[in-house]
Structure 1
């Protein structure tokens, strides 16, 4: 009799434990199910862009680029016939990204109409015989006697050491407008397009510098947003937006569902997310890094042109193709806006051209693309940024990197994408990879490079 009672009690206990376990699993799934949309969306978009923009294999993209925490649980497949990639998480929350020639890949949703956007940016990729970086010919192979190449090699070795943690993919150094060193891991070379992530912000900002030089806008103009004209947001200027000091509400958190992840992986029109936010401070009172602000600026840039075609053409005709960045592709959202916050692809050599343009203060082969004072503007520290931010460019004004000159400014992107410009040393350094500080030692690598030149 006692044995039967004990067995019955054990069975009841087991049922309760199983019920509790099911409840816990249900709660976990309920709380995290919306995140699956972001996870599968990230995975699909990343693979589609890598395959169709960078000509990488889906296997390589899945093994390396999608190996980040949470993203690695997504399963992604490519449909070559439809030029698309689709991802799920344990069979749930399928997301698909499609490739559009000239506009890159885009995550689709119920708003997507493949016939709605048929125009593409017109490119002018004229070959020339000028040596790299100012032209398309091979770089000069002369050795600059003042450069300590042993020191350069030491810096290179340091950047590629500990490959499992530093995850450096490419490193390139220009000195006095001449290529003095470059190195690539297997699977990458001088022509491989690499996603710049937030380095794209600096490209978008440079379009504003060009328009200012052309006399078509000024940085102190109020942002032309009709919805703001009757409230406190009417005082926000283009300058405030470029400096990330508009005072608008924004959450830049990639660890879960936030303003930035909703925008990048759910929105059809990414220029709206920041536009719709309320002011939580007056302009200049706070500094708040916001990818939504950059995409709002992309929308404002579009307003400067009479047609969508002119908007799509402008970054290429006025900047990208003008300086020979022929590998660069700016990706657009469903509504046809450039995703200026995050989605520019270019080879390491072409990212270096962008850096050289700024080191030369906008002069490219004798043509002034933006005013020389624009570099002074973008490198002026923004209030409340602790000397780390100018106008869509990062700074070393307060010595964040103690062994690197204070005049260094840079384009920075997720997972350690960098274009460093050091005017006092006449250096441009491009580093790309899959890990950032503290895994990649920016101060250590740059300080070693700096020691190699006078």
Structure 2
């Protein structure tokens, strides 16, 4: 008996240590998992009308999110998720604003009566892209349609791995290829993730053009006035060059996951960060930076009503992206870092706005100088990043035109702008570069066009 105790006690101690380690390291992550699951299923169902089973089998079907279990209340328009019965989170849908995670200290009643933006429908008479009427069939002698269609078809092969959801190719303002999967179509709203950053940044290009806003002026934050952060400019933020601490790691509890799944006000987390480098010297990709820019936008436009309407009146509805919604946080701020939803065709319109250097069918939204700014390499980025836009480099897309630049989002969301080919290419999906060869995809499309 004594010998048995001698054996069992160390085994029990080891088991307790292992359990303690697992509890310490993984229990806090459960809230992030349930938060992601609840928020995503809420948006997929109530923004786009996808079914619960479809969403769980596609949008939420990756590790560790697929360990969450969700329930839906179609009357209240809420989605609730839990992991092994622990860390329950609930998200609620608000018309015009999308879904938001309900903070622990708030209730659904706090979100029943909320102000929403005024929207202007796109033209039903003008043909796409300047309206939503069908385009006339156009055949270009400069396009090798057989090669183009083969490239698009390959993007959907072995789709359990590649997970492509949609591809749209626009040449000289004409759709020359379009395809969807997973029961989706041209009316399906798809999440752009970090492509939303480019949409948010574009609002500063519009401010600069319409109101003479100086992006090189220091950022106006009271708590930064007495230290070296007072030197940080709006341009530094747009370049991801503030020099501030920030951990953009989605695999564990980090600055970005705590912001997206725990913060009531997502414009504030980076304000409290300390500098690691002088401004404009070091590149550090940061979703907190974009959400700070979202909060600063409120100060520039004035009232909250004007803030809510500004992205839609000045950009989104102005170019007919009527499907787009940028979701807001629990404090009412646009989550410009991550939560912009739109149809594939409307993401294509956004790319065309940049291809046409801010001119939309005669309406100038921003100056060509803005395009020059956002496509100029940011300091410290190895020429891979501009102003909230990614730039082509010899290692990124070596076989695509060098002048390619693009919006880029988690799980392989892309809007490519290729000025030398008069081309915009959209690819949306649920798998990124590990599973999808973007170089072969884009180079194949561009090589099919001879102009």
TM-score range, shorter chain: over 0.9
Using the alignment, how far apart are the partners of 1:400 and 1:30 within structure 2?
A: 38
* 1:47-66 to 2 correspondences below 5 Å: 47-66=41-60
Partner Cα distance (2:110, 2:103) in 1: 14
- Matched with 1:175 is 171
Question: 1:26 offset after TM fit, Å?
Answer: 3.2
Q: Which of 65, 71, 88 is equivalent to 1:77? A: 71
Matched, 1:313 2:309: yes
Structure-1-length-normalised TM-score: 0.96
Q: Distance in 2 between matches of 1:19 and 1:398?
A: 55
Deviation, structure 1 residue 425: 0.6
Distance 1:415 1:330 in 2: 18
SS in 2 for 1:411: strand
Counterpart contact for 1:132–1:140, Cα < 8 Å: no
Post-superposition offset of 1:160? 1.1
Report how many aligned residue pairs link the two structures: 448
Which residue in the other structure is 2:30 paired with?
36
**Are 1:102 and 2:96 matched, yes or no?**
yes
**Corresponding residue of 1:285:** 281
CA contact (8 A) 2:122 2:321 kept: no
Between the aligned partners of 2:344 and 2:193, the Cα distance in structure 1 is: 13
CA distance in 2, matches of 1:140, 1:223: 48
Distance 1:287 1:398 in 2: 19
More deviation in 396-405 or 308-317?
Answer: 396-405
The within-5 A match list for 1:258-269 is 258-269=254-265
Deviation at 1:400, TM superposition (A): 2.1
Rounded to whole Å, the distance in 2 between the matches of 1:398 and 1:282 is 28
Q: What runs of 5+ residues in structure 2 fail to find an aligned partner?
A: none
- For residue 10 of structure 1, report the CA deviation from its aligned partner: 4.8
Matched with 2:292 is: 296
The SS at the match of 2:372 is helix
Task: Give the aligned partner of residue 183 of structure 2.
Answer: 187
**Contact conserved, 2:138 with 2:174, CA < 8 A, in 1?**
no
Instruction: Find the aligned partners of 2:308 and 2:72 in 1 and give their Cα distance.
Output: 27
| Partner residue in 1 for 2:192 | 196
Q: Give the Cα–Cα distance (whole angstroms) in 1 for the partners of residues 160 and 122 of structure 2.
A: 40
**Contact kept? 2:122, 2:131, Cα under 8 Å:** no
Tell me which residue corresponds to 1:129: 125
For the pair shown, which has the larger CA radius of gyration, 1 or 2? 1
Q: Deviations over 1:95-133 (max 9, x none)?
A: 111111111101111343644762101101143311111
- Deviations, residues 353-408 of structure 1 (Å, cap 9, x unaligned): 00001001111111101112211111001111111100000000455211011110
Matching of residues 97-246 of structure 1 within 5 Å: 97-112=91-106, 114-115=109-110, 118-246=114-242
- The answer as to whether partners of 1:170 and 1:184 remain within 8 angstroms in 2 is yes
Partner of 1:323: 319
The aligned counterpart of 2:7 is: 13
Structure 1 residue aligned with 2:86: 92
Offset of residue 11 of structure 1: 6.9
Residues 381, 397 of structure 1: 8 Å contact kept: no
Provide Cα deviations, 1:34-64, integer angstroms capped at 9, x if missing partner. 1111111111111011111111111111111
CA distances 1:151-172 after superposition (whole Å, capped 9, x unpaired): 1012112211221211111001
Deviations 1:146-204 (A, max 9, x none): 11001101211221122121111100100011100000013110010000000000000
**Cα RMSD (Å) of the superposition?**
1.5
Mapped contact 1:386–1:398 kept (Cα < 8 A):
no
Give the drift of 1:15.
6.2
- TM-score, normalised via structure 2 length: 0.96
SS in structure 2 of the partner of residue 95 of structure 1: strand
Query: CA shift at 1:136, angstroms?
Result: 1.2
Report the Cα distance in structure 2 between the residues aligned to 1:230 and 1:111, rounded to whole angstroms: 33
Local SS of the residue matching 2:48: coil
Aligned to 1:385: 381
